[in-house]
Structure 1
């Protein structure tokens, strides 16, 4: 297993400071429980794809938000590379990649504590970043990709009371059930970040933080698009 991990993380590198070869563009959206990041990601992907198709070069212009199917596709590609490689621990590595894909799809990724699985997951996230024009919701992707320049890390937050009320409405929970759900989900996500970087996340880990309780989805999306333009994250690859 150690052989595969070392080789895997060496070949799937987030950035090369010597050559200036960086992945992206990529957007990550972190959120507290009760903040709906998925629908923002879906709409943002369509809007950014529209901007891309306004350019002269329309090849590979589609932006995609990473659902379980896209994540699995990337894992499957890596598995094919493992099969073609000369790894003594190939079978164990493939099993581990399948575990990561399954954990991503059902959100049990936050419960992973095995160091090898965490390193493999980080490598898959880096591979997603290398593909570019990608939006990743949650899974601590913003923390993993924090140091690459060609990205926008967004955080959605809201007051606890507002989030509890929203979960009560969305899931038809009692107040006690909603309180327990919000606290448990926040704790799981925060604990996973600690396992990845050895500390709690703070405001400096994100480029922008939105108060989801006081803003509409479209307002957040408009702000994100403008930030991407102003930081030349979009225009770096196409002329709009």
Structure 2
């Protein structure tokens, strides 16, 4: 018998690149508070899938941005593996994975401090990468997957004053409340990255950094698609 909690990260395929079986392709989007990464992820997934904005037609190679439903589906798959596997900590592991899924869904993932839960979360992110053609927003996915060859890690940043002004508009709140919100969210995300990789995130953790204050969503998306083509993460010959 073996313990799932200890073996999960070791056994999962995308944590062992020596096999030459690389996960992906995958795009991660990290962002500072006030930058709308989810909106970009949704548009990007449609373009990479072959959608036009006026048609429901799509190619066989579907790209998906990872919302709570997709994350929970992957967790459910892993839970089934736990139940069928030769583990002596099935109940503990199943409960832990359910907590990870719940935390992902309600945005409390950044509050997790338990080392086992963090390892389980990292494992789920890796499993998503193994499935390929996914876009993951936030949740430290970029730093978790930084060493994978078949990925693009995107970072969205903007000046503090611009982000505060934008939060005031989006939340219809006063400046003081917006300042507190921006600082709190940035701190939560930065602290979670330190829990996950043991250090602060650095610029070289990301392949490209955009100034969200000076670019439109479509400009950022066009740039991402071109980078993916030039890096041969997606085909040069397909129409997106």
> TM-score under structure 2 normalisation?
0.93
**In 2, Cα distance between equivalents of 1:197 and 1:16:** 17
**In 1, Cα distance between equivalents of 2:39 and 2:118:** 27
Instruction: Give CA-to-partner distance per residue, 1:2-45, whole Å, 9 cap, x none.
Output: 82122211221325433311100000000000000001000000
1:20-59 matches, within 5 Å, as: 20-50=20-50, 59=60
1:97 match: 97
1:165-184 matches, within 5 Å, as: 165-184=165-184
More displaced, 9-18 or 95-104? Answer: 9-18
Instruction: Give CA-to-partner distance per residue, 1:84-132, whole Å, 9 cap, x none.
Output: 0111110010000000000001110001000000000000000000000
> Does the 8 Å contact 1:14/1:23 carry over to 2?
yes
**In 1, Cα distance between equivalents of 2:48 and 2:12:** 26
> Does the 8 Å contact 2:15/2:126 carry over to 1?
no
**In 1, Cα distance between equivalents of 2:129 and 2:18:** 18
> Does the 8 Å contact 2:155/2:210 carry over to 1?
yes
1:69-218 matches, within 5 Å, as: 69-218=69-218
5+ residue gaps, structure 2, are 52-58
Q: Does the residue aligned with 1:29 lie in a helix, a strand or coil?
A: strand
Runs of 4+ in 1 over 6 A off after TM superposition: none
Q: Does the residue aligned with 1:30 lie in a helix, a strand or coil?
A: strand
Q: Does the residue aligned with 1:224 lie in a helix, a strand or coil?
A: helix
Instruction: Give CA-to-partner distance per residue, 1:120-145, whole Å, 9 cap, x none.
Output: 00000000000000000000000000
> TM-score under structure 1 normalisation?
0.93
**In 2, Cα distance between equivalents of 1:11 and 1:33:** 35
5+ residue gaps, structure 1, are 52-57
**In 2, Cα distance between equivalents of 1:128 and 1:157:** 25
**In 2, Cα distance between equivalents of 1:62 and 1:29:** 18
Q: Does the residue aligned with 1:14 lie in a helix, a strand or coil?
A: helix
More displaced, 91-100 or 15-24? Answer: 15-24
> Does the 8 Å contact 1:15/1:22 carry over to 2?
no
Report the RMSD for the aligned CA atoms in angstroms: 1.3
**In 1, Cα distance between equivalents of 2:115 and 2:16:** 24
Q: Does the residue aligned with 1:18 lie in a helix, a strand or coil?
A: helix
**In 2, Cα distance between equivalents of 1:13 and 1:185:** 32
> Does the 8 Å contact 1:15/1:21 carry over to 2?
no
